[in-house]
Amino acid sequence: MQAQDLRLFQAALGLSEPWQVVSVEFDPGGKRLDLRIDFEKGARFACPECGREGCPVHDREEKTWRHLDFFQHQAYLTARVPRVICPEHNTRLVEVPWARERSGFTLLLEALIMAMVREMPVATLAGLVGETDMRIWRVVHHYVDEAVEAQELCGVERVGIDETSSRRGHEYVSVFADLDQHRGVFCVEGKDHETVQAFSLFLETHGGDPARVSEVCQDMSEAFLKGTLTYLPAAEITFDRYHVRSHLSKAVDEVCREEAKHHQELLKNTRYMWLKRLKNLTERQRDLLDELLAQPLDTVRAYTLSQQFDSVYELDDPDTAEEYLRRWIAEVDESGLEPVQKFARMLEDHWLGVIRWHHSRVSNGLLEGLNSLIQAAKRRARGYRTNRNFIAMIYLIAGKLNAGPVIA
């Protein structure tokens, strides 16, 4: 290959002295392009440990990296990487400008991987670039871990806590969000009180202060409640309105399923209709609902109470809202609907956190939306082999992280 062609590849790779492209081999049958890189004779390098300039070369190690494809052909860079002699640190392997240490990919290929992994499952990406998914995951974990550790959390004061299922069964990870910055900042396996302790320690080691967290929005699980009271002691607790409402929906569903045993024809195929918002019903469902609301059914009474409960979140004045909720509970007590009465007892047991919403106006709507994206990604990927992989994807989707190599 002519010298001008070598210089063209050298310019395309962005190489500068003492590095230079010394040969290019193209195998059209094997669909492979190999570029060999070397350095000028007598070149000296900085010590990678302390940055001391002018260290002499001791010996060389040959290494190969996968690079961006050249059209439809896989491209590889091979170089004899020098080990230099430093007066302070003895023999050290030089860092090359086109790849990070202990990586089999160039920085440009890793940048492409990190850009594409946000948009498609890792298995699909691995097939697209012709690598194993394990090699792709190693790249993802390196840059996600790096970005997570680089977070500065000194301004975190309002936190949302939610769990999301990692696999079928009862495996979960907990996600902690900065509600002011609208992003997830910490993920950990489990959904017990120790997850809050782990977040508190993470916050401390990243410039934050658990004592400065003034507001926490969470569900009514005893585990999260215990963790917040113990490890975020200065925080006021707001029980997320959507989680509160989900408990009432379960109560209505319980009433419906029990009554359907005795009124099968009347309530057939209506179970999920009672759980939907009115605006989300089809025209046919609305017509059916209008007919059923005229029937003397326990399900109708439970549904009507659930619709009345929603009005508490439409009231602006906290005192008015509290009085409205007390009257609603009194009406539930008289209804004889045991599942809804059980829900009312839950409200009373968590009264301060329920009413707190009218002062804080915070919710985990952000986390609910992120959870939808997370679960959609999990379905596209047909699940993740490990929780570590799942957590890495949560950070990429919810964390707004600058995860990837810095290309000079």
Tens-digit pLDDT profile for residues 287-298: 888 888 888 888
* 382, pLDDT greater than 80: no
pLDDT at 2 > cutoff 60: no
User: Closest Cα partner for 303 from 346, 263, 259, 238?
Assistant: 259
So what's the pLDDT on residue 292?
82
Closest of 320, 291, 293 to residue 306, by C-alpha: 293
Model pLDDT, residue 1: 52
* pLDDT for residue 79: 93
For residue 275, the 8-state DSSP code is: G
Answer yes or no: are the C-beta atoms of 305 and 334 closer than 8 Å: no
Task: Give the pLDDT score at 217.
Answer: 94
Q: Which ranges of 219-317 would DSSP assign to H, the alpha helix?
A: 222-231, 241-260, 264-267, 283-292, 298-310
Which residue carries 């060999």 as its tokens?
36
pLDDT given for residue 408 in this prediction: 62
**pLDDT digits 0-9 by tens, 197-238:** 999 999 999 999 999 999 999 999 999 999 999 999 999 999
57 in helix, strand or coil? strand
Q: What is the mean pLDDT of residues 131-146?
A: 94
Q: What is the pLDDT of residue 201?
A: 97
pLDDT > 60? residue 148? yes
- Residue 169: is its pLDDT beyond 70? no
> Bridge-partner residues for 188, per DSSP?
174
pLDDT for the residue 110: 93
* pLDDT value of position 234: 95
Instruction: Give per-residue pLDDT as tens, 313-368.
Output: 999 999 999 999 999 999 999 999 999 999 999 999 999 999 999 999 888 777 77
What 8-state DSSP symbol labels residue 127?
A: H
Determine the Cα–Cα distance for residues 197 and 160; give it in Å rounded to an integer: 14
CA-wise closest residue to 161 among 356, 367, 365: 367
Q: Among residues 150, 153, 19, which one has the least CA distance to residue 82?
A: 19
* pLDDT of 377 higher than 70: yes
pLDDT above 90 as % of the chain: 56
**Amino acid symbol at 64:** T
Q: What is the SS3 assignment for 278?
A: helix
Tell me how far apart the alpha carbons of residues 381 and 136 are, in angstroms, rounded to a whole number.
14
